[in-house]
Structures are given as structure tokens and as C-alpha cells.
Amino acid sequence: MIPEDLRYTAEHEWVAVGDGGTVRVGITHFAQDALGDIVYVQLPDSGAVVAAGESLGEIESTKSVSEIYAPLSGTVAARNEALGDTPEVINTDPYGAGWLVEITLDDPAAVDGLLSADAYRELTES
């Protein structure tokens, strides 16, 4: 279950390209499956500046606490407030209602440096 229309990181985040240089970010089905039951999510506030590869929050599951890494540099335009009350939606709908943040990119062309669905599939199957 790897949607073809998204881009991916080696840290198991997905990126959906939106309008005006803004992307939506979440964790992949592979990541949520490895984490187990998600019980808490810590996300940055809107307006926070994030740098590619640096931590932008945490996901806590019944198994562990994992960092969420910014796939690209920019400014947080929105965060999924619903996850405060229902973090488990990441387990049931990681590519839909379980999105994490929206980021307005410093460089929209940087998306081209992320993994394609085929490349991510190879990464997770190796």
C-alpha cells in the first residue's frame, strides 16, 4: 500500500504536493505498522520554521517514541489538530485523515529530491 502520487523519505514520511508550494506530510503505512498503536502525537505550531532532516515532532506508540523528521525545509502552514484527540487515526488512515503537518516550502523544487513510490517500495522490501 504505497500510493503512486506521493513522494517519500528514507525515514518513512510521505509528501503530497499541493498548490502554491505547500506540501502535506504524514508517516507511511509501513511506519505506522512498525510503531503499533499510536497514542500521542507532538507537532510544531503553525508558523514554526523547519529544516529538512531535522526533528519536527514525535509520535508515541504503545511500543516506543519516534521522531518525525521534516522531509523538506519551510514554514509550518497547518498542523492536524484532530490528532490531539484521536492520534490513532494515523493507524487507520495514514495517507488521509492521519496527515501530520502542511509545510510551505522554501524551495518547491526540493520535492524532486525525494523518493518516488517505486524507490520507496524498493527501500521497504530490501
Asked if residue 47 belongs to a domain, the reply is: yes
Cell representation of residue 64: 516506543
Q: Report which of 54, 5, 63 is spatially closest to residue 32, judged by C-alpha positions.
A: 63
Instruction: Write the pLDDT tens digit of every residue in 82-125.
Output: 999 999 999 999 999 999 999 999 999 999 999 999 999 999 99
What is the arithmetic mean of pLDDT over 5-25?
95
pLDDT digits (tens, 9 = 90+) for 42-83: 999 999 999 999 999 999 999 999 999 999 999 999 999 999
pLDDT score recorded for residue 60: 97
Burial 86-98 (b: 16+ CB within 10 A, else e): ebbbbbeebbeeb
Is residue 47 a contact partner of residue 98, using CB atoms and an 8 Å limit?
no
Phi, psi of 15 (to 5 degrees): -135, 125
In a domain, 21, yes or no: yes
- What is this structure's pTM? 0.95
In a domain, 2, yes or no: no
Query: Is position 76 within any domain?
Result: yes
Q: Is residue 126 part of a domain?
A: no
Whether the predicted pLDDT of 19 surpasses 90: no
pLDDT of residue 100: 98
Asked if the model's pLDDT at residue 20 lies above 90, the reply is: no
Reduced 3-state DSSP string for the chain? CCCCCCEECCCCEEEEECCCCEEEEEECHHHHHHHCCEEEEECCCCCCEECCCCEEEEEEECCCEEEEECCCCEEEEEECHHHHCCCCHHHHCCCCCCCCEEEEECCHHHHHHCECHHHHHHHHHC
| CATH number where 67 lies | 2.40.50.100
The structural domain count of the chain equals 1
Is 119 inside a domain boundary? no
Residue 40 is assigned to a structural domain of this protein: yes
The answer as to whether 79 is a domain residue is yes
Q: Show the domain range for 77.
A: 8-107
The pLDDT value given to residue 126: 83
